[in-house]
């Protein structure tokens, strides 16, 4: 596999792992707004290329026909196999940004909000209805031609759900239908990065992978423990998700062996 990296702190850690494994890689900058890479990579086989860095690299990978390139995901909230296990599944409200001012009551209710698509336009977070309406109005005041790629747009679909008290949160990396590494990243309100996971949480995550085997060859799945048991928080693009305390040797080796 040919590895193309955009330089960030996390991809620097990935490069260290690739070096330990004896896997070659190259560094590249992304030209803003244009999306080209500098220097232009010399690709031996377009069917054996993977890119890590910002999520926007998918456009470059698609334009060049690189495979696997960037592992784009279907919105996890639309995956029927996972609906019974979603943290925010049953009571979620789905609105496009342009529908928010007219359809979301300005009653100061708190909502957990995130884009449905795995696009990093807005990180998952809790906002009041008033804050969400204000955010929507700010975006809607812009002409769509003025909005750069990777930002909230008029037609961005949002998921809004009741905030839930979470006891622990883990991120797990899935390659070829198997969880290959994991990291604790939140304990209560404290952000903590440790390479540990409760045994039942690991089993739960693998069961989610098994329940939806055709989702993607590689992705990140976040699971959590609540007072009501283990839940699926979300999935993320493996090429652009933070590594936390993952075992990057195991992750890189697994991806390098993908067909």
Rounded distance between C-alpha atoms, residue 177 and residue 48, angstroms: 19
Rounded distance between C-alpha atoms, residue 163 and residue 150, angstroms: 25
Q: Do 153 and 171 fall within a single domain?
A: no
Q: Do 154 and 196 fall within a single domain?
A: no
Number of domains in the chain: 3
Beta bridge partners of 111: 127
Both tokens of 191, joined, read 């952000």
Rounded distance between C-alpha atoms, residue 78 and residue 87, angstroms: 13
Q: b/e map of 187-206 (b: 16 or more CB within 10 Å)?
A: eeeeeeeeeebeeebbebbb
Could you tell me if residue 207 is inside a domain? yes
Could you tell me if residue 76 is inside a domain? no
Q: What local confidence, expressed as pLDDT, does residue 121 receive?
A: 66
Q: What local confidence, expressed as pLDDT, does residue 93 receive?
A: 85
3-state secondary structure of 125: strand
Q: What local confidence, expressed as pLDDT, does residue 108 receive?
A: 85
pLDDT tens-place values along the chain, 259 residues long: 999 999 999 999 999 999 999 999 999 999 987 789 999 999 999 999 999 999 989 999 999 999 999 999 999 988 999 999 999 766 788 899 999 999 999 998 989 888 887 665 677 788 999 999 999 999 999 998 888 777 899 999 898 988 888 999 999 999 999 999 999 999 998 999 999 999 999 999 999 999 999 999 999 999 999 998 999 999 999 999 999 999 999 999 999 999 8
Rounded distance between C-alpha atoms, residue 7 and residue 207, angstroms: 34
Q: What local confidence, expressed as pLDDT, does residue 118 receive?
A: 65
CATH of the domain at 243: 3.30.470.20
- Identify the domain boundary among 111, 135, 161: 161
DSSP 61-91: HHHHT-SEES-----GGG-GGGGGGBTTSTT
Residue 241 sits in which domain range?
164-256
């Amino acid at each position: 596999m040919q590895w193309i990296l955009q330089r960030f702190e996390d991809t620097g850690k990935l490069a260290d792992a690739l070096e330990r494994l004896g896997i070659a890689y190259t560094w590249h900058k992304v030209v803003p707004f244009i999306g080209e890479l500098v220097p232009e990579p010399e690709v031996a086989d377009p069917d054996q290329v993977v890119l890590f860095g910002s999520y926007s690299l998918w456009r470059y990978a698609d334009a060049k026909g690189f495979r696997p390139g960037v592992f784009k995901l279907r919105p996890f909230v639309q995956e029927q196999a996972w609906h019974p296990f979603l943290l925010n599944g049953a009571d979620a409200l789905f609105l496009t940004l342009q529908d928010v001012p007219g359809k979301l009551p300005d009653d100061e209710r708190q909502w957990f909000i995130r884009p449905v698509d795995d696009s990093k336009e807005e990180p998952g977070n809790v906002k009041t209805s008033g804050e969400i309406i204000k955010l929507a109005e700010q975006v809607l005041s812009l002409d769509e031609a003025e909005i750069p790629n990777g930002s909230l747009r008029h037609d961005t679909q949002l998921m809004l759900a009741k905030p839930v008290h979470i006891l622990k949160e883990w991120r797990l990396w899935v390659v070829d239908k198997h969880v290959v590494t994991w990291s604790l990243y939140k304990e209560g309100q404290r952000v903590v990065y440790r390479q540990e996971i409760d045994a039942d949480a690991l089993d739960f995550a693998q069961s989610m992978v098994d329940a939806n085997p055709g989702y993607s060859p590689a992705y990140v799945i976040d699971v959590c423990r609540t007072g009501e048991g283990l839940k699926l928080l979300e999935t993320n693009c493996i090429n652009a998700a933070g590594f936390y305390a993952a075992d990057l040797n195991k992750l890189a080796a697994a991806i390098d062996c993908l067909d």
